[in-house]
Amino acid sequence: MSTVTTPDTAPAPAPTQTSSQRSSTSRFTEAAANYIDERTSISGVVKEFGRKIFPDHWSFMLGEVALYSFVVILLTGTFLTFFFQASMAEVVYNGSYVPLKGVEMSTAMSSTLNISFDVRGGLLIRQIHHWAALTFIAAIGIHMLRIYFTGAFRKPRELNWVIGFILFILALAEGFTGYSLPDDLLSGNGLRIIDGLIKGLPVVGTWISFLLFGGEFPGTDIVGRLYSLHILLLPAILAVMLALHLVFVVVHKHTQWSGPGQTKDNVVGSPILPMFAAKAGGFFFIVFGVIALMGTFFTINPIWNYGPYDPSPVSAGTQPDWYIGFADGALRLIPPGLEFELWDRTWSFNIIIPVLILTGLIVAVLVYPFIEAWITGDKREHHLLDRPRNAPTRTAIGVAGVLFYAALWGAASSDLIATHFQLSIEGVIHVNQALLILGPIVGYLVTKRVCLALQKKDREIALHGFESGRIVRLPGGEYIEVHQPVDEYERWKLVDYNDYQPLMIRPNAQGKITSVQRLRAGMSRWFFEDRIAPVSPKEIERGGHH
Amino acid sequence: MKRVVKRVKRMARKGSTANRRHPLATVALIAIGLMFTGGGYALFSSTATAETSTASQTTIDEGKKLFAANCASCHGLDLQGTGAGPSLLGVGAASVDFQVGTGRMPMAMQGPQAMEKPPQFTAEDTEALAAYVASLSPGPAVPDDSLLDGDGDASNGAELFRINCAMCHNVAGAGGALTEGKFAPALTGVAAVHIYEAMVTGPQNMPVFNDKNLSPEDKRDVITYLKYIEKNPSPGGYELGSLGPVAEGLFVWIFGLGAIVALTVWLTAKSN
């Protein structure tokens, strides 16, 4: 293993020996590596990580996109901390932007304007930071969808799913705290909605709000507090979770698609060192480049338009960044009037109901791997991915979830949908309310049927090959269409998947059937009642003689 | 106001037939009545004094013909209004210039609100219509050019715009939704004179910002701000319609992540 001798932590070349021949350089590398290894035993780690194999499939690189955009965020964010002042002390703006000259605003807003107009490269870095943040969370989202729809969360990776989902929530928190820092009109209104959301919680709401804002909203504390969270606490937790997430990826080995030579006991691909590391390094710069292009050519969060926060004005089209949109949408979709008066106060459920629904959604996603494991009763380790069609119920649940989220998300832009398609905003809201309920149901049913149909098609192709379109007349006068059989490599992909069957209800040691047993059997039936069994070798043999 | 004038006339008639009052009582009453109505009007609109003095009788006659041919079927031959359209008494030249000048009137069809379209009348015809409507009853006049030059205080204008206008028109004047299919239009590319007239007359769902609310100078500042952001494109690059986070989110998903996913597919593609 030659890779062991080249840890990437090798120090800079020694001052005296660099000018001599090649052999002395490699001797130096060797000596330096040995020096470090003797003192840190790093070779073991390098061997483990360096020999980690990455299979080649585009969908396996989505997590990397998230990682790289996080690096971009860290780099640009550090630059921004040099110039941003997280204070809500009032100052009179006197910078370069004419339409805000002489306007009173917080130091946070004025320093953000200075970053945008008076710090060299400041606006570019600010925009890269913000675009990178949007890309980061979008990449996490699409990475999670990949993991879900391929079943990569199954044993032994359930805990890593949980860690990954916590990373997602942390990223949302990072995004929202960052969005609120400039103290502009848009972010201030966003904070006001959060304040309302908190105050809508029964009994404790007002207390929590006062604790958070240091008194009545908006107060003079919130920006400083959010800043501590944004640059200190949340990134620290995020970094630790991220490290843990990556360690688990190495420990579990990478999942892969089923194929000839690709089994549950191996991983086929290129090792990190040197091949994958080079590729990934290049990919980092590609991601960085795409984000930098967005930051260069497209305005994001033009705080100079929004102006300083003032509790009285609210702009039309005030929305949170896309990743909080689902929460905003939930507040827009809840039907009005869910409140009554009892004793001396109004009991309002307009806020708590959407909050509970969203919490339920988040918890459901968090614990999904455990629920599915319990339903299937499958205790085996899974290192081969499912094609989405081969797990019809899971795929259908996923599509239903995506549609539910999409209806909430779409509702957050109801006003813009109304103006841009010349519809009435009430109509848009009502359609979204219907979609929120009907979309997942219809999506579930349709997806499940589509998956089963695709499985049937796969089965047909595995057994009889493709229709070639060539009609042959036999000597006896009979016409047949010649089918082109699939080769064995292709067939492998079509037939290699798990076949589950509904669990049978069995009495326990006391000879009783518990209600938990019944529930589990019912769920299992729901999952696996409709299924297409994979083609067995015997069937292929018989099919071959057709 | 109409009612007040009628009452004054009635009283005047009664006075002259009964002969029980001083001969000058009629004159005095009319003078008082005029002072009340005029003074009351001045309270609401201080720019009204400068109006219509320049419109010649021929222009007004021309406007009357145009009005009878194009507007009267909905607004009535005497501007009194019908079931299909409101009365135009007291709307002033500014309102006519705005509605006709931006193509909103005549309407193509009834709908949640009159849509902007290419103007149906030439500038002279619009002026004639405005002069005719203004000649029948007083109302806000077309503003003076000095208020439209966009050389006011952009910073004051921006603040006024955020407080008074942004909740419907969006902080960058990109427009926004109202109820029942109505909307506040985008303000980019709107002539300064039309912005001013809209503030003064409150077309359709827009409230009137009279001169007590926003002084002519304030209106000039608002126009200055709108013209500033129109003339100075965003320093950050293409604005994505100035629509805020929704446009940004769509952009990052479709173009940002779209490009990156395309690149991952390219990176992992098998060489042919």
Better pLDDT: A118 or A503: A118
- Judged by CB atoms closer than 8 Å, whether chains meet at B244 and A317 is answered as yes
Shortest Cα distance, chain A CAs vs residue B113, angstroms: 11
Q: How much is the average pLDDT of A433-457?
A: 96
The residues with which A256 forms a beta bridge, in sequence order, are A384
Which pLDDT band holds residue A194 (cuts at 50, 70, 90)? very high
Range of the domain at B203: 145-231
Model confidence over B154-178: pLDDT tens digits?
999 999 999 999 999 999 999 999 9
The H-assigned helical ranges of A82-157 are 107-117, 122-149
Chain B residues 220-249 with CB within 8 Å of chain A: 225, 228-229, 234-240, 242-246, 248-249
Q: Are strands A466-473 and A345-348 parallel, antiparallel or unpaired?
A: unpaired
Paired tokens of A237? 């937790």
Residues A508 and B163: their CA atoms lie apart, in Å, by 70
Amino acid in the structure at residue B11: M
Picking from A99, A317, A319, the nearest residue to B228 by CB comes out as: A99
Chain A to chain B Cβ contacts (< 8 Å): 193
pLDDT in the model for residue B31: 76
- Judged by CB atoms closer than 8 Å, whether chains meet at B167 and A98 is answered as no
Q: Please give the residue of chain A at the shortest CA–CA distance from B233.
A: A299
Most A CBs within 10 Å, among B163, B167, B178, B252, to test the A interface: B252
B206 near A CB under 8 A:
no
Largest CA distance in chain B: 113
The pTM of this model reads 0.85
Q: Residue A309 pLDDT > 90, yes or no?
A: yes
Amino acid in the structure at residue A473: R
Chain B residues 144-173 with CB within 8 Å of chain A: 154-155, 157-159, 162-163, 166-172
pLDDT in the model for residue A6: 37
Model confidence over B59-73: pLDDT tens digits?
899 999 999 999 999
Picking from A99, A117, A424, the nearest residue to B155 by CB comes out as: A99
- Judged by CB atoms closer than 8 Å, whether chains meet at B261 and A123 is answered as no
pLDDT in the model for residue B38: 64
**Which of A32-36, A413-417, B11-15, B107-111 has the lowest average pLDDT?**
B11-15
Which pLDDT band holds residue B56 (cuts at 50, 70, 90)? confident
Task: Single out the residue in B82, B110, B136 at which a domain terminates.
Answer: B136
In a domain, residue B50? The reply is no
Better pLDDT: A540 or B7: A540
Residues B67 and B85: their CA atoms lie apart, in Å, by 14
Q: How many CB atoms lie within 10 A of CB A351?
A: 21
CA A448 to chain centre: 23
DSSP of chain B:
-HHHHHHHHHHHHHHHHH--S-TTHHHHHHHHHHHHHHHHHHHH-GGGGGTTSS--HHHHHHHHHHHHHHTHHHH-TTS--BTTB---TT-HHHHHHHHHHTT-SS-SS-SSSPPP-S-SS-HHHHHHHHHHHHHHS--PPPPPGGGSSS-S-HHHHHHHHHHHTHHHH-TTS--EE-GGG-EEPP-TT--HHHHHHHHHH--TTPPP--TTTS-HHHHHHHHHHHHHHHHS--TTSB-GGG-THHHHHHHIIIIIHHHHHHHHHHHTPPP-
- Judged by CB atoms closer than 8 Å, whether chains meet at A416 and B243 is answered as yes
- Judged by CB atoms closer than 8 Å, whether chains meet at A297 and B248 is answered as no
Residues of chain B above pLDDT 70, percent: 84
- Judged by CB atoms closer than 8 Å, whether chains meet at A135 and B245 is answered as no
Model confidence over A261-301: pLDDT tens digits?
888 888 888 888 888 888 889 999 999 999 999 999 999 99
pLDDT in the model for residue A87: 94
pLDDT in the model for residue A259: 82
Sign of the CA dihedral with B31 first, then B36, B37, and B42 last: positive
Residues of B in contact with A323 (CB under 8 A): 249
Residues of A in contact with B261 (CB under 8 A): 58, 62, 142
Better pLDDT: A475 or B7: A475
pLDDT in the model for residue A21: 58
pLDDT in the model for residue A516: 87
Number of residues assigned to chain A: 546
Q: How much is the average pLDDT of A74-92?
A: 95
Q: Residue A395 pLDDT > 80, yes or no?
A: yes
Q: Please give the residue of chain A at the shortest CA–CA distance from B225.
A: A99
Q: Please give the residue of chain B at the shortest CA–CA distance from A296.
A: B237
* CATH dotted code for A53-334: 1.20.810.10
Model confidence over B186-231: pLDDT tens digits?
999 999 999 999 999 999 899 999 999 999 999 999 999 999 999 9
Q: How much is the average pLDDT of A67-74?
A: 96
Contacts of A541 (CB under 8 A, 6+ apart): none
Picking from A117, A134, A185, the nearest residue to B252 by CB comes out as: A134
pLDDT in the model for residue A26: 85
* In a shared domain, residues B158 and B216: yes
Model confidence over A198-234: pLDDT tens digits?
998 888 999 999 999 999 999 999 999 999 999 999 9
Residues A379 and B253: their CA atoms lie apart, in Å, by 37
Q: Please give the residue of chain B at the shortest CA–CA distance from A293.
A: B256
Q: At what angle do helices A122-149 and A158-180 cross, to 10 degrees?
A: 150
Residues B83 and B135: their CA atoms lie apart, in Å, by 24
Radius of gyration for the alpha carbons in chain A, expressed in angstroms and rounded: 29
Q: How much is the average pLDDT of A413-430?
A: 92
Q: Are strands A270-271 and A104-106 parallel, antiparallel or unpaired?
A: unpaired
Report chain A's mean pLDDT, rounded to a whole number: 89
Residues of chain A above pLDDT 70, percent: 95
Picking from A117, A283, A317, the nearest residue to B170 by CB comes out as: A317
Q: Residue A70 pLDDT > 80, yes or no?
A: yes
Residues of A in contact with B260 (CB under 8 A): 65, 135, 139, 286-287, 290
Residues A472 and A483: their CA atoms lie apart, in Å, by 11
pLDDT in the model for residue A517: 87
Domain count, chain B: 4
Residue A181 dihedral angles phi and psi, to the nearest 5°: -65, -40
Q: Please give the residue of chain A at the shortest CA–CA distance from B245.
A: A321
pLDDT in the model for residue A47: 84
* In a shared domain, residues B258 and B220: no
Q: How much is the average pLDDT of A118-126?
A: 96
The full set of domain ranges for chain A reads: 2-50, 53-334, 465-544
Q: Please give the residue of chain A at the shortest CA–CA distance from B222.
A: A99
Shortest Cα distance, chain A CAs vs residue B244, angstroms: 7
* In a shared domain, residues B213 and B249: no
Residues of B in contact with A416 (CB under 8 A): 177, 243, 246
Which pLDDT band holds residue A22 (cuts at 50, 70, 90)? low
Show the beta-strand stretches assigned E in A33-181: 53-54, 90-92, 104-106
Q: Residue B34 pLDDT > 90, yes or no?
A: no
Q: How much is the average pLDDT of A361-383?
A: 92
* In a shared domain, residues B166 and B187: yes
Q: What is the enclosing helix (H) or strand (E) of A31?
A: helix A22-40
Task: Single out the residue in B85, B115, B136 at which a domain terminates.
Answer: B136
Residues B152 and B161: their CA atoms lie apart, in Å, by 14
Q: How much is the average pLDDT of A418-429?
A: 92
Picking from A185, A298, A419, the nearest residue to B183 by CB comes out as: A419
Which pLDDT band holds residue A529 (cuts at 50, 70, 90)? confident
- Judged by CB atoms closer than 8 Å, whether chains meet at B237 and A305 is answered as no
DSSP state, residue A262: B
In a domain, residue B51? The reply is no
Radius of gyration for the alpha carbons in chain B, expressed in angstroms and rounded: 25
pLDDT in the model for residue A66: 96
Q: Residue A85 pLDDT > 90, yes or no?
A: yes
Which pLDDT band holds residue A370 (cuts at 50, 70, 90)? very high
- Judged by CB atoms closer than 8 Å, whether chains meet at A299 and B239 is answered as yes
Q: Please give the residue of chain B at the shortest CA–CA distance from A123.
A: B236
pLDDT in the model for residue A17: 46
* In a shared domain, residues B40 and B10: yes
B256 near A CB under 8 A:
yes
Q: Please give the residue of chain B at the shortest CA–CA distance from A134.
A: B252
- Judged by CB atoms closer than 8 Å, whether chains meet at B248 and A134 is answered as yes
Q: Residue A33 pLDDT > 50, yes or no?
A: yes
Q: Residue B16 pLDDT > 50, yes or no?
A: no
Write the CA distances from A546 to A298, A457, A483, B65, B193, integer angstroms: 61, 18, 10, 89, 83
Picking from A100, A291, A418, the nearest residue to B158 by CB comes out as: A100
Which pLDDT band holds residue A11 (cuts at 50, 70, 90)? very low
Q: Please give the residue of chain B at the shortest CA–CA distance from A68.
A: B260
* In a shared domain, residues B166 and B227: yes
In a domain, residue B153? The reply is yes
- Judged by CB atoms closer than 8 Å, whether chains meet at B249 and A305 is answered as no
Q: Please give the residue of chain B at the shortest CA–CA distance from A328.
A: B246
Better pLDDT: A332 or A8: A332
Shortest Cα distance, chain B CAs vs residue A414, angstroms: 9
Residues of B in contact with A303 (CB under 8 A): none
> The domain spanning residue B157 has which CATH number?
1.10.760.10
Residues of chain A above pLDDT 90, percent: 63
- Judged by CB atoms closer than 8 Å, whether chains meet at B268 and A419 is answered as no
Which pLDDT band holds residue A54 (cuts at 50, 70, 90)? confident
Residues A413 and B243: their CA atoms lie apart, in Å, by 10
